[in-house]
Structure 1
């Protein structure tokens, strides 16, 4: 069996086993930064990732690192049971990784969606894959943000159900995602509302698989800082725990910003924007953060180790990606005789329910602020269409009345028609759709808040 630890199907029960004897599962999640033409040294880096995962060492430690824990070459090949990848957007890169890793990871899948290339999500596994499913986020940026591309690749959740490892432990559901990127810390370019809606849907999916008896792992580049609304929705709404925080506790961002870059990785697992990454050398210490996660079901999985990986360098190239990878080792806890979870409102403390209520309030404020912007953008596009029609009529009249510069009027009319029509179509086909989807999420949050209020009122009467 590919998973270490006791996988003896003949044992009478694992309930009496000590933790060290329970089956162990090792996960790696890695944003590979594999954009065609745009990512620096893409082909060399993705091939090096495939080589490293297959056990063919190509990396060297970070020069001048004063901490032996950072950037060291492992004396023994580090094997993972599942590798969840993001931003694998070129078929040739995926084909190379599969070819290199087929011996160590015989089961693999890349997911397809979106208009261009797909969501970039892929999985390598030593455990047989039972089934897969792709859920595409309804809200995922705007088609006008061509230079960002989130809308075109179809950001999604790639769900992989694995064959049960042990008769006494629950089956695993790996939910890999790469949520919408923030292009600013605040303002419209932060896309906070779209990411919050994605986290809301993601939490509902995780709860469905939890109720079905799966040991759920939410993993990937969630583009959400610890403690943010998006992070809280994914944990408070599901009762999943952050595997890093479960082991090492929450880190204070101000304290973390005062540490050396190597210490930030060791004590804060700063997988993103560390200036030890050769593609992020210009980043300040306070910009380093953790965006790559494994959120796990604490009733079925017990984190025992976690940390950053792929911090080494590729000779002559640099870092493996603009992110570092994250790994965690988990013990699979034995299933209870009746593995049917209680409703969260019944099992959570009053303080947790109040925190969830506060999350709903913040979510509704986020939605309300963004709806104003969405309506304004839709109105501007319709206004552009209306003005284009007026200008078109006026230009046709002038072109008919004057016999000079006819070619100018032809080109001008063409530009007016194309741009006005495109904006009108965007307002009708995307603007209306976006507002309805925002309204749908708003109604879901209001309904959940009302139910939670009734539960809090009921507890107050007890």
Structure 2
């Protein structure tokens, strides 16, 4: 049944990373409330959306405010809660009735030892929301909203393997939902540039198209050329949503850092993009004078084809393209398993064993030092406790965390190999 709240055939969709980290994000409460107010009371029809997918809404009070002020305009809302410290920070506001939801938590999601990162503890996930038909005859929409693992530096700190494995999981869910008859839209802060391996997995293995690229065609500006544009041109013509100098939180970043990380990837067999823009680029009034988030939002207007009109499947990529992606993914995972995993396991195991030996030695030594100076035994006991706790913690990470990560990576390797064998045997029958 078509929604009473959507009067047009097209769907106006917004995805926005709101930067809602508690105690870390500056002016978090004021910014999130300003975003909620703007969504609830748009100034004109250009700021009115049918579906809004948000990321980094990590504080319950921020969601409660969003839920309260937006309930009239967006009667259908969902906040996803799974996670250890907090939820994945994902939520959806919609005028289209929601028929079903589920949350898929990434099995490969950073290292539990990197507690200062937070990705593993919040439970980075894919929030899947399936909607009723928004218009008579149209295919139902399946929206996949996510905030993938962030890069924190070069080399091991980039977590490129984790994002590649997350993209692989994304592609599997996308393909299943497409086969189930949904018009699939993948949105969010995917922390992946257009030329990256995860992006290739989304578009080649998942069979999705970048709505920005579809609309701009030959006018697409490669990532390497974005630095030659002014900040205004980067946003207007390059679709830059992250590290723009127009953003007050990123105004000191070099021009080379400007990039597209926020997407709306669509199934080209049943969805046609009509318009796309970078939104929420304005700043808050005094005294804050800051951008609404450290990202800009991405808006796209889409038309979903009627049911049955998508029978002629578009084959976007050849078997050779998929084979190249498989090889690159296997190489990425293999490098991580043969270099990072042994290093992590080795030094944590060594720390655990040495800690046990040192603690035993210090228990013996404390008998002698206490006879020399009684107060020194207190220091020895304190040092023993610290060494014991840190050693046991690293022992647990070695025995459980690193081994679990290694086995999850082996599972991805086997899945990719299965897909590769199938591709070789059935490439001529595989349709997208």
TM-score interval (norm. to shorter): over 0.9
After superposition, give the CA deviation of every residue in 1:134-168 in whole Å (9 maximum; x if it has no partner).
00000111112122110110000001111112342
Cα gap change, 1:162/1:332 in structure 2, threshold over 3 Å: closer, same or farther?
A: same
TM-score by length of 1: 0.87
Query: 3-state SS of the aligned residue for 2:85?
Result: coil
Task: Report the Cα distance in structure 2 between the residues aligned to 1:87 and 1:327, rounded to whole angstroms.
Answer: 17
How far the C-alpha of 1:429 sits from its partner, in A, is: 1.3
Q: Is the 8 A contact 1:211 1:340 kept in 2?
A: no
Task: Report the equivalent of 2:172.
Answer: 204
Matched, 1:426 2:403: no
Query: 3-state SS of the aligned residue for 2:157?
Result: helix
Query: 3-state SS of the aligned residue for 2:116?
Result: coil
Task: Report the Cα distance in structure 2 between the residues aligned to 1:300 and 1:76, rounded to whole angstroms.
Answer: 25
Task: Report the Cα distance in structure 2 between the residues aligned to 1:76 and 1:411, rounded to whole angstroms.
Answer: 64
Q: Is the 8 A contact 1:55 1:77 kept in 2?
A: no
Matched, 1:213 2:199: no
Query: 3-state SS of the aligned residue for 2:174?
Result: helix
Cα gap change, 1:77/1:237 in structure 2, threshold over 3 Å: closer, same or farther?
A: closer
After superposition, give the CA deviation of every residue in 1:251-299 in whole Å (9 maximum; x if it has no partner).
2123221010000101111000001000001111111001000011111
Task: Report the equivalent of 1:330.
Answer: 302
The correspondence for 2:341, drawn from 367, 374, 382, is 374
Task: Report the Cα distance in structure 2 between the residues aligned to 1:42 and 1:414, rounded to whole angstroms.
Answer: 38
Q: Is the 8 A contact 2:42 2:48 kept in 1?
A: no
Q: How many residues are treated as equivalent by the alignment?
A: 417
Task: Report the Cα distance in structure 1 between the residues aligned to 2:359 and 2:183, rounded to whole angstroms.
Answer: 61
After superposition, give the CA deviation of every residue in 1:50-102 in whole Å (9 maximum; x if it has no partner).
11111265xxxxxxxxxxxxxxxxx5562101000000011111111121111
Task: Report the Cα distance in structure 1 between the residues aligned to 2:7 and 2:160, rounded to whole angstroms.
Answer: 40
Task: Report the equivalent of 1:190.
Answer: 158
Task: Report the Cα distance in structure 1 between the residues aligned to 2:312 and 2:175, rounded to whole angstroms.
Answer: 10
How far the C-alpha of 1:183 sits from its partner, in A, is: 1.0
Query: 3-state SS of the aligned residue for 1:272?
Result: coil
Q: Is the 8 A contact 2:274 2:302 kept in 1?
A: yes
After superposition, give the CA deviation of every residue in 1:208-257 in whole Å (9 maximum; x if it has no partner).
11100000000010000012100110111121111000101342123221
Task: Report the Cα distance in structure 2 between the residues aligned to 1:242 and 1:76, rounded to whole angstroms.
Answer: 25
How far the C-alpha of 1:321 sits from its partner, in A, is: 0.2
| Unpaired segments ≥5 residues, structure 1 | 6-22, 58-74
Task: Report the Cα distance in structure 2 between the residues aligned to 1:420 and 1:151, rounded to whole angstroms.
Answer: 21
Task: Report the equivalent of 1:172.
Answer: 141
The correspondence for 1:442, drawn from 408, 413, 427, is 413
Task: Report the equivalent of 1:288.
Answer: 258
Q: Is the 8 A contact 1:314 1:320 kept in 2?
A: yes
| Unpaired segments ≥5 residues, structure 2 | none
How far the C-alpha of 1:400 sits from its partner, in A, is: 2.2
The correspondence for 2:222, drawn from 245, 252, 275, is 252
Task: Report the equivalent of 1:38.
Answer: 24
The correspondence for 2:197, drawn from 226, 229, 246, is 229
Task: Report the Cα distance in structure 2 between the residues aligned to 1:269 and 1:455, rounded to whole angstroms.
Answer: 38
Q: Is the 8 A contact 1:310 1:324 kept in 2?
A: yes
Query: 3-state SS of the aligned residue for 1:145?
Result: coil
How far the C-alpha of 1:340 sits from its partner, in A, is: 6.9
Task: Report the equivalent of 1:12.
Answer: none
Q: Is the 8 A contact 1:130 1:161 kept in 2?
A: yes
Matched, 1:269 2:236: no
Task: Report the Cα distance in structure 2 between the residues aligned to 1:290 and 1:257, rounded to whole angstroms.
Answer: 12
The correspondence for 2:130, drawn from 161, 185, 188, is 161
After superposition, give the CA deviation of every residue in 1:103-161 in whole Å (9 maximum; x if it has no partner).
11111010011111110000000011111100000011111212211011000000111
Query: 3-state SS of the aligned residue for 1:158?
Result: strand
Task: Report the Cα distance in structure 1 between the residues aligned to 2:190 and 2:52, rounded to whole angstroms.
Answer: 16
Query: 3-state SS of the aligned residue for 2:221?
Result: coil
Matched, 1:26 2:12: yes
The correspondence for 2:274, drawn from 292, 299, 304, is 304
Matched, 1:2 2:2: no
Task: Report the equivalent of 1:406.
Answer: 377
Q: Is the 8 A contact 2:141 2:182 kept in 1?
A: yes
Task: Report the equivalent of 2:118.
Answer: 149
After superposition, give the CA deviation of every residue in 1:421-453 in whole Å (9 maximum; x if it has no partner).
110011111011000000000111112122223
Matched, 1:353 2:353: no
Task: Report the equivalent of 2:425.
Answer: 454
After superposition, give the CA deviation of every residue in 1:400-430 in whole Å (9 maximum; x if it has no partner).
2332321122112111111111100111110
Task: Report the equivalent of 1:11.
Answer: none
Task: Report the equivalent of 2:90.
Answer: 121
Q: Is the 8 A contact 2:194 2:223 kept in 1?
A: no
Q: Is the 8 A contact 2:21 2:28 kept in 1?
A: yes
Query: 3-state SS of the aligned residue for 2:145?
Result: strand
Q: Is the 8 A contact 2:170 2:206 kept in 1?
A: no
